[in-house]
């Protein structure tokens, strides 16, 4: 299919491109920018006048719930949600059921993602067998099966001895290790340890539950030189630790989830279970520090930390609900709000959603260079819409942003040169 995207404002942070021009796609690849290749005849025209054309978004953490929890969501349902959100690549952590600790599970996810055909699903292999933090997984086999890295799957390894061995093993195979810093003992609470949690009678999770683990991990990284990415940071002190480590030359990177840049512990008032998250929403000072860390580049990527749930998982007393929110379809709109608030320029923001995550994954993607896969997001930056259950395509309806008025809406998503979402066709 040969497609011409006409008159859009093309922003490609990887090429420092920001201009109104045309984009041409052929055989699933970017065939030209500005001028079409010789003998190019478009089979489909997309009018992008007044809209922004950028690389498809890359989400570093999205739980698709399949295999094992299909009552919450499936790869097919969440692939549709990703396409509606302009996301063309999602990274699936290994905490599926069964755990991604053997090649057969990697192949299962790959087949079902291919059948869905609306977004690229990349997998992270388990760092330890069954994610139990006791015995190392077969990392070489997982790498050969297609895993881009290995991860603790959100279940921090308590044993420093086991973690050191795992990091050594990963370094042997040149694998990036994706870690979630949350002490398994200190992190057993329900909310950020502070005045709000005390007033509501909720057990607290101190900042030290995050920073203590990061400090330990950084010392191991300093000894071993392994590449490590810290996912979903939530505190000001964590940003400081990662900034110092990067200044010291350690091979570390980090991201944060978009909701931590818009919500804080104050939003727990009323025991809103949609704000029951892990890591928890923290204080306003932490929110501002995360925003500053994203702007400075200490945090090299934004993610959705997508965790869809069935209604029963959230309709209970706060302490009995499951943590997590559905975030694929709000990632872009909530991110654009940061640019409008002056937190960082639009081009820099899009970098944190496209080539920034690609760089962390070690991929040559997230850009619109000639010959690149035609993964493209087109959005109307001025379109205003209200998030309601009816507007969500995710099987999970658990979003604390329901009822919010948002600005910036995806109109088209192309994945490998195929139009997989068009707003007018779905509304």
Structural domain boundaries in the chain: 3-53+373-426, 56-361
Neighbours of 16 (CB within 10 A): 9
CB 250 within 8 A of CB 221: yes
The answer to whether the beta carbons of residues 63 and 306 sit under 8 Å apart is yes
Whether pLDDT at 415 is above 70: yes
Report the side by side order of strands in the sheet with 87-92. 57-59, 87-92, 120-123
Q: How confident is the model at residue 424 (pLDDT cuts 50, 70, 90)?
A: confident
pLDDT band at 425 (very low <50, low <70, confident <90, very high): low
Q: What is the pLDDT of residue 286?
A: 98
The CATH architecture assigned to 56-361 reads Alpha-Beta Barrel (3.20)
DSSP 351-383: HHHTHHHHHHHT-S-SS--TTSB--EEEEEEEE
Let me know if domain 3-53+373-426 sits in CATH 2.30.40.10: yes
User: How many Cβ atoms are within 10 Å of 310's Cβ, its own excluded?
Assistant: 17
The per-residue pLDDT for range 61-97, each reduced to its tens digit, is 999 999 999 999 999 999 999 999 999 999 999 999 9
Structure confidence at residue 135 as a pLDDT band (50, 70, 90): very high
Give the per-residue pLDDT at 427. 54
- Which class for 243: exposed (0-12), middle (13-18), buried (19 or more C-beta within 10 A)? middle
Spatial distance between the Cα atoms of 151 and 91, rounded to a whole number of angstroms: 11
- 296 and 344 in contact (C-beta within 8 Å)? no
- Structure tokens given for 273: 């279970």
3-state class of 200 per DSSP? helix
Q: Residue 338 pLDDT more than 90?
A: yes
**3 state SS of 30:** strand
DSSP state of 62: B
- If we measure between CA atoms, which residue out of 218, 216, 204 comes closest to residue 249? 218
Pairwise CA distance, residues 355 & 13, whole Å: 7
Q: Report the distance separating Cα 256 and Cα 335, nearest Å.
A: 12
Evaluate if residue 158 carries a pLDDT over 90. yes
- Mean pLDDT (the chain) is 97
CB 24 within 8 A of CB 33: yes
pLDDT of 426 above 60: no
Residue 245 confidence (pLDDT): 98
Residue 170 pLDDT > 60: yes
Whole-prediction pTM: 0.97
Query: CA-CA distance, 171 to 227, in Å (whole number)?
Result: 7
305 is catalytic: yes
Catalytic residue among 59, 183, 305, 375: 305
- Residue 52, pLDDT score: 98
Query: What strands lie across the sheet with 176-179, from one edge to the other?
Result: 125-126, 149-151, 176-179, 228-230, 252-257, 301-303
The residues pairing with 376 across neighbouring beta strands, listed in sequence order, are 55, 414
- Pick the closest to residue 12 from 48, 49, 53, 51 (CA basis): 53
What percent of the chain lies above the pLDDT cut of 70?
99
3-state secondary structure of 334: helix
- The stretch 355-376 carries a mean pLDDT of 98
pLDDT tens sequence across 282-302: 999 999 999 999 999 999 999
């Amino acid at each position: 299919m040969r497609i011409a995207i006409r008159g859009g404002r093309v922003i490609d942070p990887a090429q420092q491109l920001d201009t109104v021009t045309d984009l041409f796609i052929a055989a699933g690849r970017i065939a030209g920018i500005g001028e079409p290749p010789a003998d190019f005849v478009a089979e489909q025209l997309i009018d992008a006048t007044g809209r922004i054309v950028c690389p498809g978004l890359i989400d570093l953490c999205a739980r698709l719930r399949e295999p094992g929890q299909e009552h919450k969501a499936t790869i097919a349902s969440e692939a549709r949600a990703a396409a509606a959100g302009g996301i063309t690549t999602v990274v699936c952590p290994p905490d599926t059921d069964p755990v991604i600790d053997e090649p057969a599970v990697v192949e299962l996810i790959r087949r079902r993602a291919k059948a869905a055909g609306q977004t690229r699903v990349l997998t992270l292999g388990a760092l330890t067998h069954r994610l139990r933090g006791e015995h190392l997984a077969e990392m070489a086999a997982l790498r050969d099966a297609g895993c881009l890295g290995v991860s603790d799957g959100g279940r921090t390894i308590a044993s420093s001895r086991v973690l050191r061995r795992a990091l050594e093993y990963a370094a042997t195979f040149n694998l990036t290790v994706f870690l979630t810093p949350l002490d398994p003992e200190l992190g057993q609470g329900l909310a950020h340890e502070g005045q709000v949690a005390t007033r509501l009678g909720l057990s607290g999770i101190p900042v030290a539950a995050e920073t203590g683990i990061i400090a330990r991990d950084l010392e191991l990284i300093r000894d071993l030189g392994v590449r490590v990415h810290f996912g979903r940071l939530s505190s000001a002190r964590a940003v400081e630790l990662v900034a110092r480590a990067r200044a010291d030359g350690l091979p570390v990177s980090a991201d944060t989830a978009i909701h931590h840049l818009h919500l804080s512990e104050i939003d727990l008032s009323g025991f809103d279970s949609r704000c029951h998250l892990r890591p928890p929403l923290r204080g306003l000072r932490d929110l501002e520090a995360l925003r500053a860390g994203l702007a400075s580049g200490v945090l090299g990527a934004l993610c959705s930390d997508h965790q869809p749930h069935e209604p029963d998982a959230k309709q209970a007393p706060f302490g009995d609900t499951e943590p997590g929110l559905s975030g694929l379809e709000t990632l872009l709109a909530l991110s654009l709000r940061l640019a409008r608030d002056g937190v960082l320029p639009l081009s820099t923001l899009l970098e944190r959603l496209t080539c920034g995550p690609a760089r962390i994954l070690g991929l040559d993607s997230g850009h619109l260079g000639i010959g690149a896969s035609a993964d493209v997001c087109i959005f109307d930056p001025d379109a205003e819409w209200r998030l309601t259950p009816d507007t969500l395509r995710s099987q999970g309806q658990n979003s604390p942003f329901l009822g919010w008025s948002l600005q910036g809406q995806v109109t088209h998503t192309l994945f490998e040169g195929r139009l997989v979402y068009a707003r007018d066709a779905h509304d």
